[in-house]
């Protein structure tokens, strides 16, 4: 009887010991896989809890196209709404946005003016000379408080000018053209325009499938009514047989319903996306022959769009920071956009360029 009991206990201990060894082995393998993955992609990872569960979670999210996606919430809803002309816009009001990414939390404040742009000062500024910013989230300053953004920093230095921030997440040069052409009061010879450019602008200008897929799960969808946002139509540029820019629209649902007749459109190669960007810039310059400057935040010296702008004698503000410069790679840990130190460095360069061109008082 005793021998039988002792034999049972030995088996139980061996099974428990084997289970512990198996758990440790699985955890070790999963930890190594996660380490190698994030080391290979040169990205930061903040593990919490079981490596096995973390690996399973990453695999599931990757299969759903939501791998390492920032989760957003706000104390006011909705921030974004669909718009017939621009695709989507922001609703006026004050928002506290909370981001959750890789077990980290970050909150920033965002004030949207009555005209739908991001605030550039605590009290509205009215001046004869206006300075309009266009562009995407890098100029918008996503993830930063209003006071840390480039347009706000400029407004604080230019009390005799009115700085207007028209930029918004994933906005393109095509949308900038529509915004500037629809201004009321219209652009005057005294006004200045700052146009953003970096290589991803070309993708935005033709609404590539990856951009539409990003909008499907991105900031706009998370901080907007999903049913309403799914019905929005994203504007994009194309060229007619004579090379003239045409603005068309594609339903956001085409990111997943490509078989729909309304989603059919010719495939666009990189060369044509560059030409669309060039035509969009040309149309803005024709619209406003006054003070225009293109702010380049990234891209190679031989970038075809940059070469085109130089050939057209467009003023370019080179805001690119060299890899070895301080804050060149500073990003927010949650949303991966440029941080406040990068914004301040770039603001200084832009202000110097505006003063050199006589675009600010």
pLDDT 10s digits, 17-28? 777 787 777 777
Higher pLDDT, 36 or 234: 234
Which pLDDT score, from 0 to 100, does residue 34 have?
65
Which pLDDT score, from 0 to 100, does residue 38 have?
64
Higher pLDDT, 184 or 51: 184
Q: pLDDT class for 271, splitting at 50, 70, 90? A: confident
Topology of the domain covering 74-356: Rossmann fold (3.40.50)
Q: Token pair for residue 49?
A: 């809890």
Q: pLDDT class for 68, splitting at 50, 70, 90? A: low
Please state the separation of Cα 303 from the chain's center in Å: 21
Helices (H), the chain: 2-40, 51-63, 137-140, 150-157, 173-181, 200-206, 209-217, 219-222, 226-230, 270-287, 304-311, 340-356
Rg (CA), the chain: 25
Mean pLDDT of the region 332-347: 95
Instruction: Work out the number of other CB atoms within 10 angstroms of the CB of residue 43.
Output: 11
Residue 219: exposure state from Cβ atoms within 10 A (0-12, 13-18, ≥19): buried
Which pLDDT score, from 0 to 100, does residue 207 have?
95
Mean pLDDT of the region 301-321: 96
Which pLDDT score, from 0 to 100, does residue 170 have?
97
Question: Per-residue pLDDT for 46 more than 80?
Answer: no
Mean pLDDT of the region 56-60: 64
DSSP 209: H
Mean pLDDT of the region 75-103: 96
Which pLDDT score, from 0 to 100, does residue 250 have?
94
Mean pLDDT score of the chain: 89
Question: Per-residue pLDDT for 65 more than 70?
Answer: no
Which pLDDT score, from 0 to 100, does residue 54 have?
63
Q: pLDDT class for 281, splitting at 50, 70, 90? A: very high
Residue 129: exposure state from Cβ atoms within 10 A (0-12, 13-18, ≥19): middle
For 97-154, what is each residue's pLDDT tens digit? 999 998 899 999 999 999 999 999 999 999 999 999 999 999 999 999 999 999 999 9
Question: Per-residue pLDDT for 8 more than 80?
Answer: no
Q: pLDDT class for 302, splitting at 50, 70, 90? A: very high
- Give the angle 136-193-342 at the CA atoms, nearest 5°: 45
Please state the separation of Cα 175 from the chain's center in Å: 15
**CA nearest to 90, candidates 105, 110, 109, 63:** 110
Please state the separation of Cα 208 from the chain's center in Å: 15
């Amino acid at each position: 009887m005793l021998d039988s009991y002792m034999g049972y206990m030995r088996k139980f201990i061996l099974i428990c010991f084997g289970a512990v060894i198996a758990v440790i082995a699985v955890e070790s393998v999963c930890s190594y896989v996660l380490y190698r993955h994030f080391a290979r992609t040169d990205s930061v990872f903040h593990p919490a809890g079981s490596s096995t569960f973390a690996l399973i979670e990453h695999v599931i999210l990757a299969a759903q196209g939501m791998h390492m996606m920032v989760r957003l919430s706000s104390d006011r809803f909705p921030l974004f709404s669909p718009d017939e002309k621009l695709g989507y816009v922001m609703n006026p009001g004050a928002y506290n946005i909370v981001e959750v990414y890789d077990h980290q939390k970050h909150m920033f404040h965002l004030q949207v003016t009555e005209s739908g742009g991001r605030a550039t000062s605590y009290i509205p500024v009215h001046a004869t000379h206006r300075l309009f910013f266009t562009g995407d989230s890098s100029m918008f300053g996503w993830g930063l408080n209003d006071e840390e953004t480039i347009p706000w920093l400029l407004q604080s230095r230019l009390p005799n000018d009115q700085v207007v921030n028209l930029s918004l997440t994933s906005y393109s040069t095509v949308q900038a053209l529509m915004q500037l052409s629809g201004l009321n009061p219209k652009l005057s010879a005294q006004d200045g325009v700052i146009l953003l450019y970096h290589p991803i602008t070309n993708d935005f200008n033709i609404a590539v499938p990856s951009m539409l897929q990003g909008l499907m799960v991105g900031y706009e969808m998370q901080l907007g009514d999903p049913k309403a946002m799914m019905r929005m139509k994203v504007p994009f540029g194309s060229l007619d047989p004579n090379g003239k820019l045409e603005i068309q629209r594609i339903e956001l649902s085409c990111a997943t319903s490509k078989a729909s007749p309304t989603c059919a459109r010719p495939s666009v190669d990189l060369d044509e996306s560059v030409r669309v960007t060039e035509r969009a810039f040309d149309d803005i310059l024709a619209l406003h022959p006054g003070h225009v400057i293109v702010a380049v935040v990234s891209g190679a010296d031989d970038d075809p769009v940059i070469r085109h702008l130089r050939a057209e004698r467009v003023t370019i503000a080179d805001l690119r920071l060299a890899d070895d410069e301080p804050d060149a790679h500073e990003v927010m840990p949650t949303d991966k956009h440029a941080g406040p130190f990068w914004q301040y460095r770039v603001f200084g360069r832009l202000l110097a360029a505006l003063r050199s061109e006589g675009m600010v008082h």
